Structure 1
Amino acid sequence: MKTIEWKDWEIFCRVVEGASFTKGADLADVPKSSASAAVSRLEVQLGVRLFERTTRRVRVTERGQQLYDRVAPLFNELREISAEAVSVSEQVSGTLRISTPYEVGSLHISPILTQLLRLHPELRVQVDVSWEQPDLVEQGYDLAFVMTTTGLHDSSFASKRVVRIERGFFAAPSLIRARGLPRTPQELAGWPLLGDAEDRRWEFLRDGVEVANMAVEPRMRTQSAEIRLKAATDGLGVARLSPRYAQDELDQGRLVRVLPAYSSSPLKVFVLMPARKLMPASVRAFLDVLERTLGTTDRQGAVDVGITG
């Protein structure tokens, strides 16, 4: 009986996942020539064609897909068993890579990292600022924080909602003096607005119930709440922000809360991770500090704290 070359099977799975020999080789951490040779050996051994190859693309065959569907879960389980064995005695060290929106990072991730690094001197952390939902595996992140008004994009990653963000409406006193204080959401029609990149409608809630909504065409769009806050204090328009983020400007009299009886639809912050179990010690340590820092979660697993939106 011929010896089974398990590395060839693993490379085959990676080529399927990467949809190309180049990407599959990167995922398997082997040269492209080695990936091609591994798949060829496997095809000869099995007597079946696993991929249809053209000059432009590589497509897995029906038989290849059937084999992948059976084999890939076995390799995933083997990797988890290996990670579990290592994590039992694993020291919290190495580099923890995190992706986060700026506002989440500055107000909440920063104090968590301070505690984490004090507890674990051998640990290093890399924090990248992004408002997009990254591919954790492809981009090499251990954790990613994502803000959304609805839910997450389709994702095979484990996730947990950790923060719900209250939002209100704010403007400079000079803008209020020029236009008068609005009493209802409808009176904001025609006002200059400052929104994020995806703002198409603003919702107005009383006691958590939506009572009105308004189509918006902001004069300035930016994902950065910091820029929207500055523009609002300069009198350029009404901004939708977290009350906590705007608090200093409110205290200094540089901003006024518009329609204070109303709030807007909350933002939700999720933390994503590649797997719920058998995670690296550094990820477990971070999540432990995060849970202690953010407080008690509600029945839906979310913490009510006012961070920027």
Structure 2
Amino acid sequence: MSSANETIQWNDWEAFCSVVEYGTFTAAAEQLECPKSRVSAAVARLEDAIGAKLLERTTRRMRLTDAGSAVYRDVAPLFARLREIRQETLAREERVQGVLRIATPYEFGAQQLGGVICRTLAAYPELDVSVETAQGLVDPIRDGFDIAFVAVDADLPDSGTVARRIYHVERGLFAAPALAATLPQAAVPEQLANLPVLTTPGDTVWEFTYAGERVSVPIHPRMQTFNAELRLQGALAGLGIVRLALHYCEAEVAQGRLVRVLPEFTPPPLRVFALLPDRRLQPRKVRAFMEEVESMLAAHEQAGIAIC
């Protein structure tokens, strides 16, 4: 038997209202998806806490007492409104609306996400998109993003986010023909340390696979920028060796403005991940955008187009 001063549980009120609305403890238990014994215990606990009988039960019928009628009259509208709020929330979540906040590296956002964003906005008039350029690792939970795209050439650190790999990009070393002509024919890692290079900020070491082994080579950059286009322009001007995606340099290589150099030095691929705050309860706007991303990737794969 529950004590008179036992704290009433929220579910006890719901169980009582369900019994009244569905007519029997059995029907209420089915609606609440719990054992009948739990519903009976909830009503008994409520009666003990209130200190009044709420339901008169016989083998043939059940009816509300005066106290039960008063309690039901006061409490039932609250649960009805909660059910309405739940349905309204579900309806909102199934509509693609609100503001979708995205973080992305500059090149990926400009070259790949632009079309995805435009198609998503055209398909969902109630959706707005806010895109912020961000380099390095971004924590979507801490920084308040719905989706954060990150590009890494190493393993992602453990975090509370969900990481979905979008693709990986093969890279190589490129230089202007005049600079390439001055490079050693059979370079070794130590020699690369003395050559002019164009890198992203913070780069002090380049990793390579060389002669079947992973090697680290210290570098001394002449230019540092996250903007791949600026690094490409520096390479075209003969200022140094640049490490870029193979397909990003295809046009310049085809025109003879750049040549691939030191092919025996194989950089690790650049991998792009989408970081999402939650695995299960993703808002419809996030799912809709990621579906567009998947469609883009599928279209590129079917066409045999490499993705930057």
The alignment status of 1:242 with 2:207, answered yes or no, reads no
1:268 and 1:244 mapped to 2: Cα distance? 15
C-alpha RMSD of matched pairs (Å): 3.3
1:252 and 1:137 mapped to 2: Cα distance? 45
Counterpart contact for 2:194–2:220, Cα < 8 Å: no
Instruction: Summarize deviations over 1:195-228 as a string: whole Å, max 9, x none.
Output: 2224233233379x54654222222222222221
TM-score, normalisation: structure 1: 0.63
2:87 and 2:158 mapped to 1: Cα distance? 26
5+ residue gaps, structure 1: 7-81, 299-303
| C-alpha deviation, 1:291, in angstroms | 1.4
| C-alpha deviation, 1:261, in angstroms | 5.0
The one of 269, 273, 277 equivalent to 1:270 is: 273
1:291 and 1:263 mapped to 2: Cα distance? 29
Instruction: Summarize deviations over 1:280-305 as a string: whole Å, max 9, x none.
Output: 11100011111121139x9xxxxx94
| 2:168 counterpart residue number | 164
Q: Say which structure, 1 or 2, has more relative contact order (CA 8 Å, 6+ apart).
A: 1
Judged with a 3 Å threshold, the aligned counterparts in structure 2 of structure 1 residues 84 and 152 are, in CA distance, closer, same or farther, namely farther
The residue type equivalent to 2:286 in the other structure is: V
Counterpart contact for 1:182–1:258, Cα < 8 Å: no
- 3-state SS of paired residue (1:269): strand
- 3-state SS of paired residue (2:125): coil
The one of 195, 198, 216 equivalent to 1:194 is: 198
The residue type equivalent to 2:104 in the other structure is: T
The alignment status of 1:110 with 2:114, answered yes or no, reads yes
| 2:103 counterpart residue number | 99
- 3-state SS of paired residue (2:274): strand
Counterpart contact for 2:93–2:283, Cα < 8 Å: no
TM-score, normalisation: structure 2: 0.64
| C-alpha deviation, 1:146, in angstroms | 0.8
Judged with a 3 Å threshold, the aligned counterparts in structure 2 of structure 1 residues 306 and 204 are, in CA distance, closer, same or farther, namely farther
1:95 and 1:236 mapped to 2: Cα distance? 43
Counterpart contact for 2:209–2:265, Cα < 8 Å: yes
The alignment status of 1:126 with 2:109, answered yes or no, reads no
| C-alpha deviation, 1:103, in angstroms | 1.2
1:84 and 1:293 mapped to 2: Cα distance? 32
Larger Rg: 2
The alignment status of 1:148 with 2:152, answered yes or no, reads yes
The residue type equivalent to 2:194 in the other structure is: G
The alignment status of 1:291 with 2:294, answered yes or no, reads yes
The one of 280, 285, 304 equivalent to 1:282 is: 285
User: Percent identity at matched positions?
Assistant: 39
| C-alpha deviation, 1:306, in angstroms | 4.2
1:271 and 1:199 mapped to 2: Cα distance? 23
- 3-state SS of paired residue (1:162): strand
1:83 and 1:133 mapped to 2: Cα distance? 37
The residue type equivalent to 1:123 in the other structure is: L
Judged with a 3 Å threshold, the aligned counterparts in structure 2 of structure 1 residues 189 and 132 are, in CA distance, closer, same or farther, namely closer
The residue type equivalent to 2:169 in the other structure is: I
| 1:232 counterpart residue number | 235
1:190 and 1:239 mapped to 2: Cα distance? 14
| 2:256 counterpart residue number | 253
1:197 and 1:214 mapped to 2: Cα distance? 16
The alignment status of 1:220 with 2:226, answered yes or no, reads no
Counterpart contact for 1:166–1:306, Cα < 8 Å: no
Counterpart contact for 1:131–1:146, Cα < 8 Å: yes
